[in-house]
């Protein structure tokens, strides 16, 4: 997780921030309806403008920010980050300070781009990526509580070796050693509210997009935030 040697922030907020990528805008409405400030990762600015929202900041190497989008955004909101050893998603995350980031435009389109974003989640600040079918976040070490209805699909995908315990899952994970090239925990089911206790960071939690509010509440509780109560009528796609 980014901490000590962080670069100075481009945007700081006390509420969840929307981060929009340049991929297919799956989940964009859901993200915009649940966040305050909006940040575009480079070419994601075009998706923001198409949705009727001028981003509060554009962050990236700007190689995919087209002229029309640049002309529509005040110059002071555009921030070029020239580093080449990270993605635009990582650049944006490194320069945003918020209790939670909700990302759209990162899970559709090219598989390598989606894998790069998912693989970065365990070492970044709290972030949920939202797609057409699913939402995904990294589980922190310690306890995560999820308010889920029975039958909800719950998938755990380790990005490194990790163990943990569970309550409320159809198939408990107690005693299992999860690792990317070995046992994973996909397609489990909730029997009701779920508690996960992970012995370390590095495991992704993947839920149906309809369970986005439950994931937001869980991540904000784990981070000590106060935004767990969200409008149930907010769109999920």
Task: Give the model confidence (pLDDT) of 52-70 as tens digits.
Answer: 999 999 999 988 888 899 9
Q: What are phi and psi of 92, to 5 degrees?
A: -65, -45
β-pair partners for 125: none
Fold held by 11-132: Rossmann fold (3.40.50)
β-pair partners for 195: 145, 167
Q: What are phi and psi of 218, to 5 degrees?
A: -65, -45
* Alpha carbon distances (Å) from 167 to 6, 143, 170: 36, 11, 9
What's the confidence (pLDDT) of residue 5? Answer: 64
The residue extents of the domains of the chain are 11-132, 142-198
Closest CA to 235 of 147, 151, 130: 130
Please say whether the beta carbons of 159 and 185 come within 8 A. Answer: no
Q: Is the pTM higher than 0.85?
A: yes
What's the confidence (pLDDT) of residue 64? Answer: 85
Distance, CA of 60 to CA of 121 (rounded, Å): 18
What's the confidence (pLDDT) of residue 224? Answer: 66
Asked if residue 229 has pLDDT above 50, the reply is no
Per-residue pLDDT band at 191 (split at 50, 70, 90): very high
Average pLDDT over residues 188-216: 97
What number of other Cβ atoms are within 10 A of residue 77's Cβ? 17
What's the confidence (pLDDT) of residue 3? Answer: 52
Question: Per-residue pLDDT tens for 92-124?
Answer: 999 999 999 999 999 988 999 999 999 999 999
Asked if residue 163 has pLDDT above 70, the reply is yes
- The residue whose two tokens read 């297919």 is 24
Eight-class DSSP state of 219: H
206: burial class by Cβ within 10 Å (0-12, 13-18, 19+)?
A: buried
What's the confidence (pLDDT) of residue 223? Answer: 72
Question: Per-residue pLDDT tens for 2-42?
Answer: 555 678 899 999 999 999 999 999 999 999 999 999 999 99
Please say whether the beta carbons of 93 and 125 come within 8 A. Answer: yes
Per-residue pLDDT band at 237 (split at 50, 70, 90): very low
What's the confidence (pLDDT) of residue 144? Answer: 96
What's the confidence (pLDDT) of residue 85? Answer: 83
Average pLDDT over residues 156-176: 96
The residues, ordered by sequence, that sit 6+ positions from 37 with a Cβ below 8 Å of its Cβ are 11, 13, 15, 17, 18, 56, 57, 98
What's the confidence (pLDDT) of residue 83? Answer: 82
Beta strands in 6-141 (DSSP E): 11-12, 17-20, 38-41, 57-60, 78-80, 96-97, 101-104, 127-130, 134-139
Please say whether the beta carbons of 157 and 203 come within 8 A. Answer: yes
6: burial class by Cβ within 10 Å (0-12, 13-18, 19+)?
A: exposed
What's the confidence (pLDDT) of residue 30? Answer: 97
Average pLDDT over residues 65-90: 90
What's the confidence (pLDDT) of residue 8? Answer: 86
């Amino acid at each position: 997780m980014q901490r000590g040697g962080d670069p100075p922030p481009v945007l700081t907020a006390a509420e969840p921030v929307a981060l929009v990528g340049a991929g297919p805008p799956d989940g964009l409405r859901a993200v915009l309806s649940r966040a305050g400030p909006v940040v575009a990762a480079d070419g994601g600015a075009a998706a923001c403008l198409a949705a009727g929202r001028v981003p509060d900041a554009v962050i990236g190497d700007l190689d995919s920010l087209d002229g029309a989008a640049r002309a529509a955004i005040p110059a002071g909101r555009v921030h070029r980050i020239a580093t080449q050893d990270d993605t635009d998603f990582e650049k944006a995350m490194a320069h945003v300070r918020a209790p939670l980031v909700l990302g759209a435009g990162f899970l559709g389109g090219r598989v390598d781009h989606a894998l790069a974003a998912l693989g970065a989640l365990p070492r970044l600040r709290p972030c949920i990526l939202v797609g057409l079918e699913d939402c995904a976040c990294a589980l922190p070490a310690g306890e995560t509580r999820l308010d889920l209805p029975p039958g909800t699909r719950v998938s755990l995908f380790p990005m490194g070796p990790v163990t943990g315990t569970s309550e409320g899952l159809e198939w408990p994970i107690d005693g299992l050693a999860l690792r990317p090239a070995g046992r994973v925990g996909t397609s489990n089911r909730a029997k009701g509210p779920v508690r996960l206790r992970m012995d370390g960071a590095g495991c992704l939690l993947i839920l149906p997009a309809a369970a986005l509010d439950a994931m937001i509440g869980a991540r904000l509780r784990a981070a000590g935030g106060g935004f767990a109560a969200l409008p149930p009528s907010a769109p999920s796609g």
